Amino acid sequence: MGWGYEPHEGYADEKWPDGHWTGGSGRSATDPDPLAYRASCSCGWRSEHEHPVPPRPESRDEATRETWFLQREGVYDRCQQDWNAEHFEGMLGYEPHQQLILGKSPGGPRHFLDGRPVNAGSALELLLEHENRWLPIRYEWSWQNDQPPTAHIALGVPPGAEGLTHLTVSFPLPPRAILRWPTRTP
C-alpha cells in the first residue's frame, strides 16, 4: 500500500469531495478524485499537512492529462516525505553526529562526521548489528553528489604474505550507516 512495514506502514490518505478521509481503503474505478492527500501511518499517526490535489483537467489533450498526472504524483511523493520526516525518521532515533553529512569545503563537496571533515582514505568505524561491534573501514568517495561513498575493509593474509599481497572488500556506504571516528589508534 505505501511506505515501510507494519506496524508503521505509511500511506497517502485521501480526502474526498464530501470532506471525509478514506483512511487508506483501496480505491475503485468509480471513486471520485481526491481533493487532497495527507501522510498517514497504519499505527494511527496523521500528518497535519494537507496537500491539495489539482483538479483533473477537462481537456482530453494527452499532454495536459500527463502533466496533471505528474502533479498528482508529486503531491503523493510529498506525503511520503512528510511521513518520513515528521514520523518515521524521528522514531528511528538516528543521531546526526553519527551520520555522514554532505557539506561544502573550500575544495568542493565533502562529507563531515561529527563536525569533522572526512578526507579520502580516512579511517572510520562502522557500527555492525551484532553485539554493537564497530568495524574499521577506510573511506573513499568519488566526489560526485549522486554517488555514495565507499567503505574498504582490509582482509587478513598469512604472515608470509604480509606486504606482498593485499585483499580488500569494498561496498557502498548506505546513507543511514552509523559511523564514528576511531576511538584508539591501531
Q: How far is the CB of 24 from Zn ion (least distance, A)?
A: 12
Binding test (CB under 5 A) with Zn ion, winner from 41, 118, 151, 173: 41
Among 23, 27, 43, 81, binds Zn ion (CB under 5 A): 43
Alpha carbon distance 98, 136 (integer Å) = 15
Q: Does 39 bind Zn ion (CB under 5 A)?
A: no
Among 3, 8, 49, 138, binds Zn ion (CB under 5 A): 8
Q: Which of 45, 68, 112, 134 binds Zn ion (CB under 5 A)?
A: 45
x/- track of binding to Zn ion for residues 53-82 (CB under 5 A):
------------------------------
Residue 135 C-alpha cell reads as 568495524
Strand ranges across the sheet with 150-155: 167-172, 150-155, 134-140, 123-127, 179-180
Establish if 173 lies at the interface with Zn ion (CB under 5 A).
no
Our CA angle for 10, 12, 18, nearest 5°, is 140
Residue closer to Zn ion, measured from CB, 94 or 171:
94
Interface with Zn ion includes 46 (CB under 5 A)?
A: no
**Close Cβ partners of 6 (under 8 Å, ≥ 6 residues apart):** 42
CB of 41 to Zn ion, least distance (A): 3
Backbone angles phi, psi at 71, to 5 degrees: -60, -45
Report whether 36 contacts 16 (CB < 8 A): no
Q: Could you tell me which stretch among 8-16, 57-65, 124-132, 142-150 binds Zn ion (CB under 5 A)?
A: 8-16
Range in contact with Zn ion (rule: CB under 5 A) among 40-48, 76-84, 160-168, 175-183? 40-48
Residues that bind Zn ion (CB under 5 A): 8, 41, 43, 45
